[in-house]
Amino acid sequence: MIGATSALGDLRAMVGAEFLVTGEALEAYRLGGRKPQAAIVPADDVEVSKTLTRAWEEGLAVVPWGGGTHQSVGPPPSRYDLALDLGRLNRLLVHEPADMTATAQAGIRMVELQRQLAQHRQFLPLDVPLPERAMLGGVLSARSSGPLRCRYGTARDLVLGLRVAHADGTLTKSGAKVVKNATGYDVTKLYLGSHGTLGVILEATLRVYPRPDVEQGWWLAAHDLGTAQTLADRILGSSLVPNRAEMVDEDAGRACRMPGPGLVVSISGLPETVQGQRATLERMAAESGVMPAEIRDAEGTWRALSDFPWVNVGWNGGGMRALWRGGAPPADCAKAMLAIRQAAPRSVGVSAAASVAHGILRGGFLAEAPEAVAHGLRAAREVLVAIGGFLTVLDAPAPVRAQVDEWGPAPDGVGVMQRLKTAFDPKGILNPGRFVGGI
Amino acid sequence: MNGNGLAPEIRRRLIQACQRIVGPEGVVSAPDELRVYECDALTYYHRSMPDLVVLPISTPQVSEVVRLCQDVGVPFLPRGAGTGLSGGATPHAGGVMIVLTRMTRILGVDVPNRMATVEAGCVNLWLTNAVKHAGLFYAPDPASQQACTIGGNVAENAGGPHCLKYGVTTNHVLGATVVLPGGEVARLGGMVADGPGYDLLGVFVGSEGTLGICTEVTVRLMPQPEAVKTILAVFRTIEDASHTVSGIIGRGIIPVAMELMDRETIQAVEANVKAGYPLDAGAVLLIELDGPRAEIEAEAVGVEAVCRDQACLEVRVARTEEERALLWKGRKEAAGSFGRIAHHYHLQDAVVPRTKLPQVLREIAEIGARYGIKIANVAHAGDGNVHPMICVDRDVPGCEERAMAAGSEIMRRCIEAGGSVTGEHGIGLEKRDYLGLMYTPADLAVMRRVRAVFDPAGLCNPGKIFPDTAEHAGASHSPRGPSAVSKP
């Protein structure tokens, strides 16, 4: 490791001792029981690029690091020499309110980005979990999303272009700063959701939206999830334009301070818009035998839904806790949630919610025995895979991880994915072993 | 130009092999019949005949034909309806053209999930018509939607007037069955969003037929809006109209469409279809709002206020479906109407930040004047997507050259304004030389890397997108000369 030692010396000389973390402070960068040799906190793009070039020369395994909120997703790295902390690339570079676009650096925290956009009454409709900690680059790398995807879509729809540092330190851009672009391949899409295995996102140009004048939410308590699904299908197939449509089971409901299974629906816009749609929503609810209740603490409810299951899974107590995210055809959300509960061992506490417009499920399992949690995860995955879906483990203790594959069966096209990884990062230094198919 | 570059013996064997795969009725090889396929809707730039055309009826057939091409080492490319505007489906390197127009079925409409799965050759408008009864529609609506295929839309990441609010093809495609350039069949994406792995579907959409051939597509359907309001705003100058566009977006109103047409366009349209646009106007904006009734009523008030601020001459709201259809007919027939004012025109497709629209449109007018070339403008103005129509009179010596020069200057100005080379037509053959204006060699190297991963032999629609046609030993795929086949 003489090369590594000399590389770390070079990096320290570049960023200064203060920004090359070693020793005890590396605890913050621990992954799966392993700490890196150092963590570097570069000041700008050029320093990121030089860091990667040096790591590339020495073959050091690099873990790009934002707010760390999604570092639990996927297996721990198979090699881990250097954490590349993007926390100092934390500026909103450009905000063009009249174009409804903004360009921000990867290390800006989501709440800070929203605060600055709000100065022009705009926002980025990515209501991801843990926004106080989560940073933009990590959110995009993990393709994280929240309930607002119902109306506004995901990072796929909101990111217009990226600036990326590659494994060898080369800096490139993808996409453009305009809202419509068909120039060359849309390589932006490859980086989104790639968990830092193809390149390190440095900045993103985003589509931003005006903040609505009014937003009103309703809690639609249903007798059972099936009723909630029927109502959701009706709403989503109608001319109503909901911002959020979240289905929660009893335990997820408790986590979000709402009783029983049901739906949370919100509508935003001008006051007259919301009023106009309210009547339709109430009529549809009544026809399904559901009584709508206005949500009073709207902000609190939105946060609880965005943070579920990361912050509160609906029950307390020790033991083994696993969080997961899954996908199902939208109209099968309730069916999947029920089947997942039934398939889990009886000793496992289960809670689940779904962004019902897009069939994105998330939830948590809790039990004393890791075997029971792992069994629950595998069974839930079987349920989802059988209907064309998937399940990804978001977070779990090591004894659970030992018994379940975090990503599940390889998707179609995994061979192409592996070849892409080799083409982008032939030495395998970016987040090795953390992604799908052993990437 | 003629793309027939295969040695006769090899061509004969290819034809026989393809006939075995798709049946004799699925192979076109007579020279006069092949002429139909020598270009797409980019007719002025480059024509080249394919060596043969194959019309498969299933994914396995497409896969077999692709494998055959790989075995023989001949280039191949897909084609839908051939309505593309950048030469993406022009058989630049000859070879085998795989035409998807016999795969037109709507395989399934899933109303509860608001999705449909279609074969690649399904015509865009057929899908919307087929789901109307369920209160749904397919949002991307390219001007050629009566003819263009969904598979072609996927290849080009097609847009359309209504993409301002709803987004372009990539925002609506959930899954695709794809024959990769090596012949393997892969299902990318599907009914379930956000599956694990790299977003291969995302990079496939808009890859202009160079990363494989899509045979089936699963798309998202949208519920029809409660109400629609179509407004024609008439302006003295194009400047006033373009300031109005920025003003409306700046107010946070996102119409479903906001189309700009200038004086030349209005004249041409009125001479052709009589949409009722005022002939004395300097520009019109066709603005459409859709959504909950209460919302669009409120937004319409805002739109009108912005129009008045910009000294608008008239605001006309369509009162009936017929009036609305007529206003749109004018816009949809705009390109077709240019035959009235020019024998030939070059249609551009640049995008600029919407706030730069007034400046860029002014510069386009200056460029036209400087080169002595008539330039008419239609624009998906809400997206900043301008479509200057550069008129060419081929009887006037030097006109073609001046038109080309004016075109590149416009392109450069759009890029300098922070824009993009193409918003929805793609690079194809036409804009390869402009790619370097927008992307550095390092940026392009990333795209080439993707290309090499999907298509190491470089046989899938070679010569498209990238500036130098020499990529992947392009010389051996020269459209002329028997060396086009490396292996018999």
Return the pLDDT at B327. 95
Which residue is listed with tokens 């360009």? A103
pLDDT tens figures, B295-317? 999 999 999 999 999 999 999 99
**Which of A126, A179, A280 is the best residue to mutate to test the B interface, defined by the most B CB atoms within 10 Å of its own CB?**
A179
Q: Which of A154, A19, A136, A141 is nearest to A71 (CA)?
A: A141
Within 10 A of B394 (CB to CB), how many other CB atoms are there? Answer: 12
Contact B181, B455 (CB under 8 A): yes
Q: How far is B136 from chain A (nearest CA, A)?
A: 8
| Of residues B171, B424, B444, nearest to A182 (C-beta) | B424
Residues A198 and A224 in one domain: no
Over 90: is that where the pLDDT of B345 sits?
Answer: no
pLDDT tens figures, A228-275? 999 999 999 999 999 999 999 999 998 888 888 999 999 998 888 898
- Domain with residue A17: its CATH number is 3.30.43.10
Residues A159 and A173 in one domain: yes
Average pLDDT over residues B407-414: 94
Map chain A to HEC letters: CHHHHHHHHHHHHHHCHHHEECHHHHHHHCECCECCCEEECCCCHHHHHHHHHHHHHHCCCEEEECCCCCCCCCCCCCCCCEEEECCCCCCEEEEECCCCEEEEECCCEHHHHHHHHHCCCEECCCCCCCCCCCEHHHHHHCCCCCCCHHHHCCHHHHEEEEEEECCCCCEEEEECCCCCCCCCCCCHHHHCCCCCCCCEEEEEEEECEECCCEEEEEEEECCCHHHHHHHHHHHHCCCCCCCEEEEECHHHHHHCCCCCCEEEEEEEECHHHHHHHHHHHHHHHHHCCCEEEECCCHHHHHHHHHHCCCCCCCCCCCCEEEEEEEECCHHHHHHHHHHHHHHCCCCCEEEEEEECCCCEEEEEEEECCHHHHHHHHHHHHHHHHHCCCEEEEEECCHHHHCCCCCCCCCCCCHHHHHHHHHHHCCCCCECCCCCHHHC
* Burial class of residue A144, CB neighbours in 10 A (0-12, 13-18, 19+): buried
Residue of chain A with shortest Cα separation from B294? A273
Give this prediction's pTM. Answer: 0.95
Average pLDDT over residues B80-98: 93
Q: How far is A292 from chain B (nearest CA, A)?
A: 20
Residue B108, chain A, CB below 8 Å: the answer is no
**Which of A100, A141, A181 is the best residue to mutate to test the B interface, defined by the most B CB atoms within 10 Å of its own CB?**
A181
Which helix H or strand E contains B330, and what residues bound it?
A: helix B321-332
Residues A188 and A221 in one domain: no
Residues of B in contact with A181 (CB under 8 A): 351, 420, 422-423
- Tell me the two tokens of residue B90: 């022009």
Q: Inter-chain contact A331–B113, Cβ cutoff 8 Å?
A: yes
Answer whether residue A411 is part of any domain: no
Helix (H, G, I), strand (E, B) or coil at B397: coil
Contact A55, A82 (CB under 8 A): yes
Within 10 A of A237 (CB to CB), how many other CB atoms are there? Answer: 20
Distance from C-alpha of A245 to C-alpha of A359, rounded to nearest angstrom = 11
Contact B465, A183 (CB under 8 A): no
Contacts of B332 (CB under 8 A, 6+ apart): B143
Q: How far is A21 from chain B (nearest CA, A)?
A: 31
* Burial class of residue A24, CB neighbours in 10 A (0-12, 13-18, 19+): exposed
* Burial class of residue B345, CB neighbours in 10 A (0-12, 13-18, 19+): buried
Q: Inter-chain contact B112–A270, Cβ cutoff 8 Å?
A: no
Q: How far is A17 from chain B (nearest CA, A)?
A: 32
Residue B295, chain A, CB below 8 Å: the answer is yes
Over 70: is that where the pLDDT of B483 sits?
Answer: no
Residues of B in contact with A190 (CB under 8 A): 198-199, 202-203, 450
Distances (CA, A) of A134 to A67, A68, A106, A206: 5, 7, 10, 17
Answer whether residue A425 is part of any domain: no
pLDDT band at B374 (very low <50, low <70, confident <90, very high): very high
Contact B389, B461 (CB under 8 A): no
Average pLDDT over residues B35-57: 90
Q: Inter-chain contact A176–B159, Cβ cutoff 8 Å?
A: no
Residues of A in contact with B425 (CB under 8 A): 182
**Which of A49, A160, A183 is the best residue to mutate to test the B interface, defined by the most B CB atoms within 10 Å of its own CB?**
A183
Residues A264 and A366 in one domain: no
Contact B379, B238 (CB under 8 A): no
DSSP string, B351-371: E--GGGHHHHHHHHHHHHHHH
- In this structure, of A212-221, A352-361, B446-455, B460-469, the range with the lowest mean pLDDT score is B460-469
| Of residues A173, A360, A435, nearest to B443 (C-beta) | A173
Q: How many domains does chain A have?
A: 4
Residue A170 one-letter amino acid: T
Residues A362 and A332 in one domain: yes
Q: Inter-chain contact A416–B224, Cβ cutoff 8 Å?
A: no
pLDDT band at A1 (very low <50, low <70, confident <90, very high): low
Residues A8 and A78 in one domain: yes
Residue of chain B with shortest Cα separation from A176? B420
Contact B227, B293 (CB under 8 A): yes
The share of chain B scoring above pLDDT 70, in percent, equals 95
Which helix H or strand E contains B165, and what residues bound it?
A: helix B163-166
Residue B452, chain A, CB below 8 Å: the answer is yes
- Domain with residue A345: its CATH number is 3.30.70.600
Helical spans, DSSP H, in B251-291: 263-272
Return the pLDDT at A257. 84
Residues of B in contact with A239 (CB under 8 A): 135, 223-226, 291-292
Return the pLDDT at B487. 30
Residue B439, chain A, CB below 8 Å: the answer is yes
Contact A62, A431 (CB under 8 A): yes
**Which of B109, B163, B192, B440 is the best residue to mutate to test the A interface, defined by the most A CB atoms within 10 Å of its own CB?**
B192
Residues A96 and A176 in one domain: yes
Residues A114 and A60 in one domain: no
Residue A363 one-letter amino acid: G
Task: Pick left, alpha or beta for residue A438 (phi over 0 → left; psi -120 to 50 → alpha; otherwise beta).
Answer: left
Within 10 A of B327 (CB to CB), how many other CB atoms are there? Answer: 24
Q: Which of A70, A85, A100 is the endpoint of a domain?
A: A85
Give the pairing type, strands B136-137 and B222-223: antiparallel
Q: Inter-chain contact B450–A190, Cβ cutoff 8 Å?
A: yes
Return the pLDDT at B476. 35
Answer whether residue A312 is part of any domain: no
Distance from C-alpha of A240 to C-alpha of B117, rounded to nearest angstrom = 24
Q: Inter-chain contact A270–B167, Cβ cutoff 8 Å?
A: no
Over 60: is that where the pLDDT of B328 sits?
Answer: yes
Distances (CA, A) of B326 to B21, B230, B269: 47, 11, 11
Q: How far is B113 from chain A (nearest CA, A)?
A: 5
**Which of A70, A126, A140, A180 is the best residue to mutate to test the B interface, defined by the most B CB atoms within 10 Å of its own CB?**
A180
C-alpha angle with apex A348: A344 to A350, nearest 5 degrees? 75
Which helix H or strand E contains B446, and what residues bound it?
A: helix B441-454
Q: Inter-chain contact B294–A192, Cβ cutoff 8 Å?
A: no
Answer whether residue A76 is part of any domain: yes
Over 60: is that where the pLDDT of B145 sits?
Answer: yes
What are the structural domains, with CATH classification, of chain B? 8-101+448-485 (3.30.43.10), 106-223 (3.30.465.10), 225-341 (3.30.70.2190), 342-433 (3.30.70.2740)
pLDDT band at B343 (very low <50, low <70, confident <90, very high): confident
Q: Which of A187, A210, A233 is the endpoint of a domain?
A: A210
Q: Inter-chain contact A177–B423, Cβ cutoff 8 Å?
A: no
Q: Inter-chain contact A183–B421, Cβ cutoff 8 Å?
A: yes
- Domain with residue A294: its CATH number is 3.30.70.3450
Return the pLDDT at B281. 96
Distance from C-alpha of A421 to C-alpha of A413, rounded to nearest angstrom = 13
Q: Which of A270, A266, A265 is nearest to A214 (CA)?
A: A270
The share of chain A scoring above pLDDT 70, in percent, equals 100
- Domain with residue A124: its CATH number is 3.30.465.10
Q: Please report the residues numbered 57 through 96 in chain B whose beta carbons come closer than 8 angstroms to any beta carbon of chain A.
A: none
Q: Inter-chain contact B423–A182, Cβ cutoff 8 Å?
A: yes
Residue B183, chain A, CB below 8 Å: the answer is no
Q: Which of A210, A231, A248 is the endpoint of a domain?
A: A210
Q: Which of B395, B390, B423, B419 is nearest to B407 (CA)?
A: B390
Over 70: is that where the pLDDT of B481 sits?
Answer: no
Domain range for A192:
92-210
Residues of A in contact with B184 (CB under 8 A): 415
Answer whether residue A362 is part of any domain: yes
The separation between the first and the last C-alpha atoms of chain A, rounded to the nearest angstrom, is: 24
Answer whether residue A48 is part of any domain: yes
Average pLDDT over residues A276-296: 93
Residue B303, chain A, CB below 8 Å: the answer is no
Return the pLDDT at B167. 95
pLDDT band at B477 (very low <50, low <70, confident <90, very high): very low
pLDDT band at A2 (very low <50, low <70, confident <90, very high): low
| Of residues B134, B427, B450, nearest to A187 (C-beta) | B450
Give the pairing type, strands A262-269 and A390-395: unpaired
- Tell me the two tokens of residue B369: 């004047």
Strands, E assignment, B18-90: 27-28, 52-54, 76-79
Residues A283 and A385 in one domain: no
Contacts of A321 (CB under 8 A, 6+ apart): A313, A364, A365, A366, A373, A395, A396, A397
Distances (CA, A) of A334 to A246, A384, A389: 11, 12, 14
Which residue is listed with tokens 């199902």? A328
Q: Please report the residues numbered 388 through 427 in chain B whose beta carbons come closer than 8 angstroms to any beta carbon of chain A.
A: 418-427
Q: Inter-chain contact B206–A413, Cβ cutoff 8 Å?
A: no
Answer whether residue A166 is part of any domain: yes
Q: How far is B14 from chain A (nearest CA, A)?
A: 28
Mean pLDDT of chain B: 92
Q: Inter-chain contact B419–A145, Cβ cutoff 8 Å?
A: no
Answer whether residue A372 is part of any domain: yes
Return the pLDDT at B440. 95
Residues A203 and A291 in one domain: no
- Tell me the two tokens of residue A152: 């506004």
At what angle are helices A271-287 and B293-309 packed, to 10 degrees?
170
Q: Inter-chain contact B252–A171, Cβ cutoff 8 Å?
A: no
| Of residues A179, A186, A275, nearest to B206 (C-beta) | A186
The separation between the first and the last C-alpha atoms of chain B, rounded to the nearest angstrom, is: 24
Return the pLDDT at B4. 53
Q: How far is B433 from chain A (nearest CA, A)?
A: 12
Residues A147 and A66 in one domain: no
pLDDT tens figures, B205-250? 999 999 999 999 999 999 999 999 999 999 999 999 999 999 998 8
Instruction: List b or e across B194-227, with b for residues whose CB sees 16 or more CB atoms inside 10 angstroms.
Output: bbbbbbbbbbbbbbbbbbbbbbbbbbbbbbbbbe
C-alpha angle with apex A320: A318 to A326, nearest 5 degrees? 125
- Tell me the two tokens of residue A178: 């305009």
Mean pLDDT of chain A: 95
Residues A164 and A123 in one domain: yes
Distance from C-alpha of A266 to C-alpha of A215, rounded to nearest angstrom = 7
- Tell me the two tokens of residue B436: 């370097």
pLDDT band at B475 (very low <50, low <70, confident <90, very high): very low
Which residue is listed with tokens 């409306």? B248
| Of residues B198, B293, B349, nearest to A190 (C-beta) | B198
